Amino acid sequence: MSRWLFLLAVVCLADPLAAPQVNNEPLVSALSLFKQGKFQEAATAYRAILTKDSSSAGAHAGLVQSYLKADDLPAAESASAQALAALPQSAPVHAVRGDVYFRKGLLRDAQTEYETALNLDSNCARAWLGMGKIHSAVSLNQYAREFFSKAHELDPDDGDALYHWAVQLPYPQSVNELEKHLSQYRSTPREERHEREFINLVKGIGEREVWVGPAAPPATDIKLDLLSPRPGTTLGLGVHVKFNESTAATLLLDTGSSWMTIPRKLAEKIGARKISDYAIEGVGDSGPTAGYFAWVDKVTIGPVEFHDCVAHVTMKNDNAGDDGILGTDIFSKFLLTLDVHQRKLRLDSLPKAYLFAAGVRNHPIADQMDEKAFQFGHLLLLPTRVNHSITALFVLDTGANFSSITPQAVKQESNLHESDKRVSGVSGDVNKVSRFDDALMEFAGAPPSRRDLLVFDRHSLSQQLGTEVSGFIGYDTLSRMKISINYQSGWVKVEESK
């Protein structure tokens, strides 16, 4: 599997100033504020420029990027629409309009804007960067790397391009370039902490591969257990795991998690060795929980052995599963079939690589996406329809007890009610929860189903991923389903279990 498949986000900053304008003092001053992470001040400076010269593509692009970095999506959308009206033939303006669509989770619309920008100017670095993000989301990683490199080559001062390019470099060059990025482009304390943690993890792992499985994955069926800690409560499905030929445990099998998360008590028992500190974040309003990354020499699941395994270790001993959580992304070299209803995990060899038509390189998002999953790190985001009126991206998450939707996605709906349901995760309890009754859900080829959805905010995850996450497809929706996943091609199919 990819060494960095677990990543939930890319922490990066853009350089909105095109090279020919570097001698323009107001733009240079605004860009300096932007690089210092003073995004609202930068936006003010860019607006002042546009008051005097509404034809400045650099100021328009800088204003939109400043709003995006300041997490003011409505302002970014308004500014990008005004920029497009003023400069309809500007490649940078179309590119930042694509960035706004990407942040809203409208990836097809984002692709269209990036393509338009490249048709106007084939050397538009920001458009190549956007196409790299699109290709990464649809699992065309070879093309994504090519486009990230091209964006960085065209504009070495673009912080986003620098970061995406640096992540794909071999160790230790990757660390050198990431540290350069961290020193030159400031952001929020949270984002900078994420980046420091990632750099320290890369240093700790070095050139080693992680979660090394069998060269020829054997076809096998693995029995799963229903995790029900008390009557009337079901957490999900558990899988038996053996550590280092000695200790055994039952972990919650979770399509919404990466690698493996275990409590410190278990980590110490199996002799897990610390790599670097890591603050674990998830559902809840109490902020990150202290933890660290650690090496586990050997993990055995059924007949499948993994070596050099990296685990997240939480200082708490009250994980969602009996003993922890196992992310399904560790099986990325298999064709994975999770029959939730029959409580069975099927692992098969991947089919031969599909040869994409020539046009997919430039038009990666096809018209029919019913079985396509967008990958952001380890997360699988499925295009989902709710009540025929809401179309958005939902996380496939067998580790969530209940399916949910965000307040932003249902702000126009009237069928909302207070809920006394307690929602908690690794970041504590959720303070405000409501209920969206009798919602009709359609996704990934699954038969339409109706259920009540919990409503609570997941804005921090959308910020982290850089695209809008509007809900989670949880265990309650999937309990009678069979889920097929091909991580290599970003393909998910959900059907009713027989």
Residue range 120-144, pLDDT digits in tens: 999 999 999 999 999 999 999 999 9
Q: What per-residue confidence (pLDDT) applies to 100?
A: 98
Q: How far apart are alpha carbons 147 and 161 in whole angstroms? A: 9
Q: How far apart are alpha carbons 6 and 237 in whole angstroms? A: 21
Mean pLDDT of 12-29: 59
Mean pLDDT of 409-414: 77
Mean pLDDT of 142-160: 95
> Is residue 1 very low, low, confident or very high in pLDDT (cuts 50, 70, 90)?
very low
Q: How far apart are alpha carbons 473 and 492 in whole angstroms? A: 13
Contacts of 23 (CB under 8 A, 6+ apart): none
Q: What per-residue confidence (pLDDT) applies to 421?
A: 67
Q: Is the pLDDT of residue 9 over 90?
A: no
**Which value, to the nearest 10 degrees, does the dihedral of the CA atoms of residues 135, 136, 138, 140 take?**
70
Q: How remote is the C-alpha of 235 from its chain's centroid?
A: 23
Q: How far apart are alpha carbons 348 and 36 in whole angstroms? A: 49
pLDDT in tens, 240-268: 999 998 899 999 999 999 999 999 999 99
Q: How far apart are alpha carbons 117 and 123 in whole angstroms? A: 9
Class of domain 220-349: mainly beta
Q: What per-residue confidence (pLDDT) applies to 2?
A: 47
Across 190-199, 403-412, 463-472, least confident range: 403-412
The CATH number that domain 19-205 falls under is 1.25.40.10
Q: What per-residue confidence (pLDDT) applies to 450?
A: 92
Across 2-11, 32-41, 212-221, 238-247, least confident range: 2-11
pLDDT in tens, 200-256: 999 999 999 999 999 877 789 999 999 987 777 778 999 999 999 889 999 999 999
Mean pLDDT of 29-37: 94
The CATH number that domain 358-496 falls under is 2.40.70.10
Q: Is the pLDDT of residue 314 over 80?
A: yes
- The full set of domain ranges for the chain reads 19-205, 220-349, 358-496
Q: What per-residue confidence (pLDDT) applies to 386?
A: 93
> Is residue 17 very low, low, confident or very high in pLDDT (cuts 50, 70, 90)?
very low
**Which tokens hold the place of 439?**
């919602």
Q: How far apart are alpha carbons 248 and 81 in whole angstroms? A: 57
Across 4-18, 49-63, 109-123, least confident range: 4-18
Q: Is the pLDDT of residue 190 over 80?
A: yes
Same fold, 19-205 and 358-496: no
The percentage of residues in the chain with a pLDDT greater than 70, rounded to a whole number, is 86
Amino acid identity at 126:
R
Q: What is the mean pLDDT of the chain?
A: 88
Q: What per-residue confidence (pLDDT) applies to 458?
A: 85
- Smallest CA-to-CA distance from 325 within 361, 291, 373, 276 is with 291
Q: What per-residue confidence (pLDDT) applies to 10?
A: 38
Q: At which residue do the structure tokens 């003993």 appear?
A: 323
pLDDT in tens, 348-362: 998 876 545 445 666
Q: How far apart are alpha carbons 487 and 227 in whole angstroms? A: 25
Neighbours of 405 (CB within 10 A): 26
CA triplet 429, 431, 436: central angle to 5 degrees? 105
Its pTM surpasses 0.75: yes
